[in-house]
Amino acid sequence: MDGRVVIVTGATSGIGAAAARLLAARGARVVAAGRRQDRGDAVVEEIRAAGGEAVFVRADMASDADIRRMVDTAVSTYGGLDGAFNNAGMGGQHQQLHEYTDENWDAQIAVNLTGVYRCMKYEIAAMLESGAKRPGGAAIVNTASTLGHRASHLSGPAYTASKHAVIGLSRQAAISYIHQNIRVNVVSPGATRTELLEPLMAMGPEVVKQVNEINPIGRMATAEEVAEAALFLLSDAAGMITGHALPVDGGQLAKL
C-alpha cells in the first residue's frame, strides 16, 4: 500500500480504527474519518507516532456535505484517491417490524446505506481522476455484515435491510466501473467484538455466550481480523476480485 491514499470511515474505534492503523503501517496515507474529534485525533497521533502518515476529518456519514468534504480533503492533502474502506455504520434497534419507528428506520438507512452510496459517489469521481489511472487501479471496500446475507432474531429490520442493500449496491458499482479500473468489494463480518455490540453484551453472560456461538468457531472476530480482510481486498493481491462479499465469520454462513 506504499504511498496510496486511502479513506477509512468509522475510523474512531473498532474495525475502522484497526484498519486505519493497519493501512498506515503498510505504507498507505490514511484519511481517517468519523464523528468523534477526540478519538479521531488519538488514532492519527498513534499512527504518526508509529511512523505512519494520516489526517483526521470529522465527518458524519448522514451528511452529504461532510462526505464531500472528506473526499475533497483526501485530494487536496495528498493529491488524489486510490482506495476507500467505507466502514462506518450504526447498530439497529432490536424491535419487531410492527413496533419500529420511522425515526429509527430513517436514521439507520441514512448512515448504513445512503452514507455508503454518497461515499462511493464522491470517491469514484475522485478515483477516476487519480487512482483509477494507476496500473493496479483503485479499490473500494464496503462493510456489510453476515446480516447482509441472512436474517436474525437479534437484529432489527433497518439494520438487516441496509446491510443486504450495501451488498447489492456494491455489486452494481463493481460492474458499472469494471472497465474503468476500479474494483468494489464487501467485507461481511460475523459477530465482532466492537462498540457496536456493547448493547448486546450488556444484556448479560447468556447473551454474550449466544453471540460468541453465532460464529461456529466459538468466538467473536476481532477488529484486526476484519481489517486484515479489508486490506487484502484493497491491495493489488486482490486484483481479480470485484463484486464479491467476503464473510469474516468463523464459518457462520457456511453452517446455514
Active site residues: 159
Pairing between β-strand 53-58 and β-strand 138-143 as defined by DSSP bridges = unpaired
What type of residue is 138?
A: A
Residue 94 burial class via C-beta count within 10 angstroms: exposed 0-12, middle 13-18, buried 19 and up: middle
Cell numbers found for residue 222: 476481532
Sole residue written with cell 436474517: 151
Cβ within 8 Å of residue 15, ≥6 positions away:
87, 143, 189, 192, 194, 223, 226, 227, 230
Q: How far apart are CA 141 and CA 151, in angstroms?
A: 22
